[in-house]
Chain A
Amino acid sequence: MKLMQRTNLSADGINKSFSRPGEHDPLKVLEDIHFEIREGEFVSILGPSGCGKSTFLNILAGFEPADSGHAACCGEHIRDPSPERAVVFQSPVLFPWLNVKDNILYGLKLRKDVRNEAEEIASEYIRAVGLDGFWDYYPSQLSGGMQQRTALARALVLRPKVLLMDEPFAALDAQTRYSMQQLLLGLWENYRHTIVFITHDVEEALLLSDRICIMSKRPGRMIEEIAVPFERPRPLSLTGTQEFSMLKGHILGRLMD
């Protein structure tokens, strides 16, 4: 396997607390988090609700600073958001006044190097996420799944070094979620993005990722790391096998701890 390449994104000893209204001591959300992802890897972070997954992702994205510890992307300390670390949020967060094409072009237009090919790149990704023929639709005219496809394309056109996804499919119905998962896997196999994928859906994590990091209840710590042993492609029928259920049971157990 050619997976074990350079470290793409790393976090060392990250701590984070939030002050809470009406109380003296702050709420400790992240405690001594260590995390690392290599180029081309697909890693899921699993954890109970409120354990600090989004907070951690926000630190990786550069939206929020850590209280202490060090986060770096390709050796560079993370200070600010950057298109190198594109984010797909749980809700699409598209610009409602721009149509699909202009939403996808938004990041490209801000860059000098690709301005000339911007339109070409955008249409390539519009096709890749299956939004052919919808490029002039506005977000309010799209279904939730289509909006999330647009958000995905908007992030991918920037060819980010790492794609940060915060429960991107949690708001979708089961069928749409499944087709989005397949779409993401297809794109990943094609372009070999590096993906940090936050979810609380154990099956989703097992079907998609190379590796799963499990976080404890708040304050969130990394309590276990699992290399997913299943060959790709992983058909849906995999979920019925004994090995799958045992691993799933084990992870669920850790989440309850």
Chain B
Amino acid sequence: MTVSNWKMDYIGFVLPALIFTAWYLVTLEGGVPAYLIPSPSNLVRVAVDFATGHANLTPYAGTLLVHTLASVQRVAMGFGLAVAVGLPLGFLTGRMSLAKNSLDPTVHLIRIIPGIGWLPIAIVWFGVGENTTLFLISLAAFFPIYVNAAQGASSVPPLLIRAGRMLGANKLMIFTTVIIPASMPSTLAGLRLGLGISWAYLVLGELTGVTCGLGAVMMDARMLGHVEMILVSMIFIGLFGRISDMILVGSFKRLDLLREENKE
């Protein structure tokens, strides 16, 4: 078992290695010019400089922390708002036909409009920048959170609820001790989707005109012709997105809310 797992782990590295090699080859002398694709070594140097500021290679040297904090804060606030609204409404919709009938049709109607289609009207309402970004993130992250929480809550096995009731749980206790834990796998799936989307809409919002944040750096770097900074920002956004996902999943495991998924 461990042997084949090892093999599987290695297989995951093959494709990145190939891409990396190809990348390295095309950036060799006489290949694709550096203003289109910078070489890997240059990229690494710029990335390290972005973080530490030791070589002042770009105007962005040493500013990684500031931009990251700005971006992370926006994601946290936008995603937090989506969770605060989406989870309760989702659970309600999943369990109460009144909530479902009154809420669900409207939500799904709005859901058809792509999140990006809200950008112009958001700028009209909230102006360019901070609040538009938060609005876009919360709006886009809301739907997967809501839909998956509702789906999870509505598909709790009725027998589990009966078991809880005959053991003495009232309606409220059934909700907190049966329905919520039983719908955790689906709810977490929704939260992960929502968090991923939060990062996507963060970039969209930041591209449209904030001064601080990884998306802003990308846009700024494009205008100043620092193509390597665009790529470095992309890599950092991917990295932080991945880390935030790991933190989310990790904290759920910590709380031991994922027993069903952890089945071995």
- Residues of A at under 8 Å CB distance from B? 61-63, 80-83, 85-87, 89, 91, 93-98, 106-107, 110-111, 138, 140-141, 154-155, 158
Partner of B256, one of A61, A97, A155: A97
Residues 64-89 of B, flagged 1 when their CB comes within 8 A of A and 0 if not, give 00000000000000000000000000
- Residues of B at under 8 Å CB distance from A? 157, 159-160, 162-169, 173, 177-178, 181-182, 184, 256-260, 263-264
- Chain A's closest residue to B160 (CB) is A93
Partner of A110, one of B160, B167, B184, B263: B167
Is there contact, CB below 8 Å, between A96 and B260? yes
Is there contact, CB below 8 Å, between B168 and A97? no
B160 to chain A, nearest CB (A): 6
Q: Complex: how many Å from CA A155 to CA B168? A: 11
5 contacts between A and B (CB under 8 A): A83-B167, A87-B162, A93-B157, A95-B164, A95-B182
In order of increasing CB-CB distance, the 7 nearest A-B pairs are: A107-B167, A97-B259, A81-B166, A81-B165, A83-B168, A110-B168, A140-B263
Is there contact, CB below 8 Å, between A110 and B259? no
In the complex where A93-B160, A97-B181 touch, is A154 in contact with B167 (Cβ < 8 A)?
Answer: yes
- Chain A's closest residue to B180 (CB) is A97
Note all chain B residues with C-beta closer than 8 A to A81: 162, 165-166
Q: Complex: how many Å from CA A93 to CA B162? A: 9
Partner of A106, one of B159, B167, B258, B264: B167
B32 to chain A, nearest CB (A): 53
Is there contact, CB below 8 Å, between A95 and B160? yes
Partner of B177, one of A89, A93, A106: A106
Note all chain B residues with C-beta closer than 8 A to A98: 259
Note all chain A residues with C-beta closer than 8 A to B167: 83, 86, 106-107, 110, 154-155, 158
Q: Complex: how many Å from CA A1 to CA B76? A: 71
- Chain B's closest residue to A106 (CB) is B167
Q: Complex: how many Å from CA A82 to CA B169? A: 9
Is there contact, CB below 8 Å, between A110 and B165? no
- Chain B's closest residue to A139 (CB) is B259
A185 to chain B, nearest CB (A): 23
